[in-house]
Chains A and B, each alone.
Chain A
Amino acid sequence: MNSEFAHTFYKCFIKDDRYKLILGGIRITIEVSLLAILLGLVIGFLIALCNLSKKKGLNAIGKVYTDIIRGTPSVTQLMIIYFVIFASIDWPKWIICSIAFGINSGAYVSEIIRAGILSVDKGQTEAGRSLGLNAKQTMWKIIVPQAVTNIFPAMCNEFITLVKETAIVGYVGLVDIQKAGDFIKSATYVAFMPLIGTAVIYFVMIKILTIFLGKLEERMRRSAQR
């Protein structure tokens, strides 16, 4: 039994340098996730500003964006962006995938930011404005610093979801952890080992991310409470 396990393990992860496939997959997952998180934050912030704006046109843009993204599966969005929008543009696959996930994440991030900004008491805005600060100064110096603390937990959730969502990049032929596991499964005719291996790798990555974000939040709360 034990030696059979070792044998399968060898066959799946060591033989023919298959671990290199996995390592490459991990790298792709990390690259796509990081860039997508960044893009998601930028897009999310802009869409949140649209949604919070008093201008009807900007409101509409924000609403339509959020509606479309939330109303369609992310795998469909990824395939449309890859095979339709970027069909004739020769960018590296992982960047196109990051853009797709960034656009997707942006919709959710915008809602988180919007809720966070609305969670700051209206009196804060009034105090800022009554001192003579303009809307922008009030937003940046008074509202945003307070909203960040409120937003953080929900934002961590979004990051974690995003990392796991990237497991669909195989649909456009990018080899991430999931796709690497899949390749190994096809090559070895073994399902258990590569799939459980894939799950374990994702789990460990998410665990590390969670611990890191948790520490960051703790530090932020401490400095916010003082």
Chain B
Amino acid sequence: MIQVEDLHKSFGDNEVLKGINETIHDGEVVVVIGPSGSGKSTFLRCLNLLETPNKGKVIVDGEQINAPGVDVNKVRQKMGMVFQHFNLFPHLTVMENITLAPTMLGKMTKEEALEKGKSLLTTVGLLEKADAYPSQLSGGQKQRIAIARSLAMEPEIMLFDEPTSALDPEMVGEVLDVMKSLAESGMTMVVVTHEMGFAREVGSRVLFMDDGEILEQAVPEELFGNPKEERTRQFLSKVL
């Protein structure tokens, strides 16, 4: 469970998050939508402290992770993150990408990590690419590997930062399918995306962010079918 209390984040004079309060429960798939510049990605990146909040609390499983003295690395080991630009390690093979963190951090032996890697690659349908290098993969394949890489650490929570925004349209589906089956397996997920179809179909809750705040939130049917705020309606009319 992630609790966020009065979260503020500024870059210089630019206040990007203006006090976010939110609780994400285990097993929930929370989809964050909103116009660009609304702070969605920053919000997500504050959850695993890739951005340091200026004010407020981020509490994961009861522990405030942005308090001084907390081992951020330990916290991040249970929160996987998938990036818009994949960020696979280009000098390592697909399998090495996946096994690097679990073996280095002593979570698994080399053999265990290889086993885990094989089973994850099977799940994302790319077992035959185990020895390929990232440069030999398509965008969709890269993103599926990136998801597998995060899952190798057996995280409790998965964060997705616009995972399909850098993909060619015909590759979006394969990535969303992987995410969908992950959601069905009960993984707690926070997904920043512009894929309204995914939000509607898979999301257990949708947050609409605008100008550094969560303006409105509801279950998908309600937020898409009957938005309360004018700003939400405007946004939805443009993207749907």
Contacts and interface: CB of A to CB of B under 8 A. Distances in A.
B50 A142 contact: no
Given A132-B76, A141-B104, A123 B83 contact: yes
A137 B48 CA distance: 18
Given A132-B74, A132-B77, A126 B50 contact: yes
Nearest to A144: B91
A15 B87 CA distance: 66
A225 B135 contact: yes
B85 interface: yes
Contact of A133 (B73, B81, B90, B150): B73
- Classify the interface of chain A: helix, strand, loop or mixed: helix
A124 B87 contact: yes
B163 interface: no
B223 to A, nearest CB: 28
A146 B73 contact: no
Given A132-B105, A132-B153, A127 B76 contact: no
B198 interface: no
B77 A127 contact: no
A84 interface: no
Contacts of B48: 130
A123 B77 CA distance: 17
Given A123-B83, A123-B85, A141-B100, A130 B91 contact: no
Given A130-B48, A130-B76, A130-B80, A224 B91 contact: yes
A128 B50 CA distance: 11
Interface in B143-176: 146, 149-150, 153
Contacts of B127: none
B136 to A, nearest CB: 8
A129 interface: yes
Contacts of B224: none
B24 interface: no
A226 interface: yes
Contacts of B133: 226
B87 A133 contact: no
Nearest to B88: A127
A222 B170 CA distance: 32
Contacts of B215: none
Contacts of B81: 126-127, 130
Contact of A127 (B74, B87, B153): B87
A131 interface: yes
B36 to A, nearest CB: 18
A212 B73 CA distance: 42
Given A123-B83, A132-B73, A137 B104 contact: yes
Contacts of B101: 131-133
A83 to B, nearest CB: 46
Interface string B66-90: 0000000110110111010101111
A145 interface: yes
Interface string A137-161: 1000110011000000000000000
A188 interface: no
Nearest to B93: A226
B80 A124 contact: no
Nearest to B102: A131
Interface string A101-134: 0000000000000000000010110111111111
B76 A129 contact: yes
Contacts of A123: 83, 85, 87
B83 A131 contact: no
Interface of A: 121, 123-124, 126-134, 137, 141-142, 145-146, 224-226
Shortest 7 CB-CB contacts between residues of A and residues of B: A132-B77, A127-B87, A131-B101, A123-B87, A130-B81, A132-B76, A145-B91
16 contacts: A123-B83, A126-B87, A127-B83, A129-B50, A130-B50, A130-B76, A130-B81, A130-B150, A132-B73, A132-B153, A133-B73, A133-B101, A133-B104, A137-B104, A141-B100, A226-B135
Given A121-B87, A146-B89, 20 more contacts: A121-B85, A124-B87, A124-B89, A126-B50, A126-B87, A127-B81, A127-B88, A127-B89, A129-B73, A130-B48, A130-B50, A131-B76, A131-B77, A131-B150, A132-B73, A132-B153, A133-B101, A133-B104, A225-B135, A226-B135
